[in-house]
Structure formats: C-alpha cells, structure tokens
Amino acid sequence: MKITFLGTAGSILTAKKSFPSILIDKTLLLDCGEGTTQKLIKINSIDTIKTICLTHLHGDHFMGIFSLLWHFWLTNRKSDLTIIGPSHLEETIKKIFALTNAPGGLKVLQFKIHFKELIGNDGILEILSEYTIKYAVMDHPILAFAYRVEKNGKIVCYSGDTKPNQRLIDLANKSDIFICESTIPDEQAKFADKYGHCTPSGAAKMARATDCEKLVLVHISPFFTEEIDRSINNIKKIFNKEILLAEDLMTLEIRHK
Ligand SMILES: [Zn+2]
Ligand SMILES: [Zn+2]
C-alpha cells in the first residue's frame, strides 16, 4: 500500500502546503482540500481516482472537490465516482457545484456520483473490493469521522480533525501508519481542547495506546510552527517509535509480506 500526502496544511494555506488530502495507492482519496486536483495531475493520478472519503465538511477538507469535478467535466470523465462523508454531503456538494455555474450543476457530468452519507457512530464500508474501510465519529465542533483503511493486512488510520478520544485509539489499533492531526502546540492545550484539535503530545499518547508502528503528524497550524517543532522533541519520550512530520508530496510505502 502506498500513501501519498497531497496536502498537509492545517487551518490555512502556506507557500509549501495545500489543504488536507491523502492518496492511497492510485484510487482512494482521504479528504479533498483545495489544491488536490493540481497535485493529482502532477503525480499522474487524476484519472485513477475511484473513491473519496471526506472526514468532515469544514472548508479546508473538502473545497477541492469542486475543482476536481470541474476537471472531470471538462476532460470528459466517464467512470463512476463514489463520495463518502458526513450527513448533508450530497446536498452540500450539489449546492456549491451549482454555484460554479457549470450548466445544470452536477447534471453536466458524464458519469454518476454515488454519494454515501455515514450514519451512526462507527461502521464498516463495503464499497471497495480491495480495501476494508472502517470509520468512527470523532470529537470536533461539527460531525467528523476518522477512517481506517486495510488492505492485505496492512493498515493506515487517518484522524481527520478531532481532539484525542478513545474511539480513535480503538480505530487506529495496531495500525502500520497512524496519521494524526496535530494542529495546536502543547503550550496551548486548552485552546486545542476548546476547538476540537490535538496537540503533538495528545497525538503521541494516542499513538502509544494504539501500539501503531509509525506516527505521522499532519494539519499543523502555520500559526504555531516553531512551538510544534519544540513539542516534537518532547513527544519522542511518549511514543518511542518513528514519528514523521508530513510534507506535501511525501510518500510512504507499507510493504506486503
Ligand atoms: Zn481542518
Ligand atoms: Zn475541522
């Protein structure tokens, strides 16, 4: 399984980072922030996307859908697309795409979009033949999900936006790669708690509890880059396996035995 970090920014864009999106192999996208379409073109994976799992409907995590659909319209995509995410997903995407003035809104597309809105606190998706995708509801100001993707016994878990919680620890249990948001530095833990985000220490404590192999921190707010860098050194005492800071276009491979 190959993981490509297309966008890794937290809260706002920077010169080097676009909004969150993670590509699994060449077919599955986790989140689709602004900038995703151009990154997919850059790595030659634009036409292979089959499924998009959105963690939640904060703008930084899904505004890339519209340039992606616009691209698919003008390049005559024919194959169906599945978009998975929280309730009001279909209505929200239809409404915003209509505002782009594509004639007839989504009807302009020459392929079908299958929307799947997640209900309940957790579950298993049986949409993709090659992957088993589990999801669990997170702790964020709006309805938000984390996803666990499993293929041939290899596991990646992505937190989306959330404060630390037991459902995420359970979902990421024994994952090969645990991708966890780390928006706000340890010094401002109360601020993180108030706005439903993790600190590096919070992410590391969960990583230790999951017994994952590798922790990748994403969605670091550029308002706190220096403080986060300081926190990273401290969290090595909490989680003593590999810790990485995600960068745009960074790739990781989990080898199959
Ligand atoms: Zn976010
Ligand atoms: Zn959010």
> Which ligand places an atom closest to the C-alpha of 181?
1
Least trusted range by pLDDT, from 59-73, 95-109, 156-170, 217-231: 217-231
- pLDDT given for residue 256 in this prediction: 66
Tokens of 200: 């590096």
Q: What is the band of 128 on the pLDDT scale with cuts at 50, 70, 90? A: low
Judging by DSSP bridges, how do beta strands 214-218 and 242-245 pair with one another? Answer: parallel
Q: Which residue has the tokens 């596991």?
A: 155
pTM, 2 dp = 0.96
Ligand 1 is an ion; residues with CB less than 5 A from it: 60, 161
- pLDDT given for residue 223 in this prediction: 85
Query: Residues 196-227: pLDDT tens digits?
Result: 999 999 999 999 999 999 999 999 998 887 88
Percent of the chain at pLDDT exceeding 70: 98
Strand partners, 21: 7
User: Residue 208 belongs to what H/E stretch?
Assistant: helix 200-210
| Distant-in-sequence contacts of 176-179, Cβ < 8 A, 24+ apart | 176/212, 176/213, 176/214, 176/254, 177/3, 177/212, 177/213, 177/214, 177/216, 177/252, 177/254, 178/206, 178/207, 178/210, 178/212, 178/214, 178/215, 178/216, 179/3, 179/22, 179/216, 179/218, 179/246
Query: How far apart are the CA of 63 and the centre of ligand 1, in A?
Result: 11
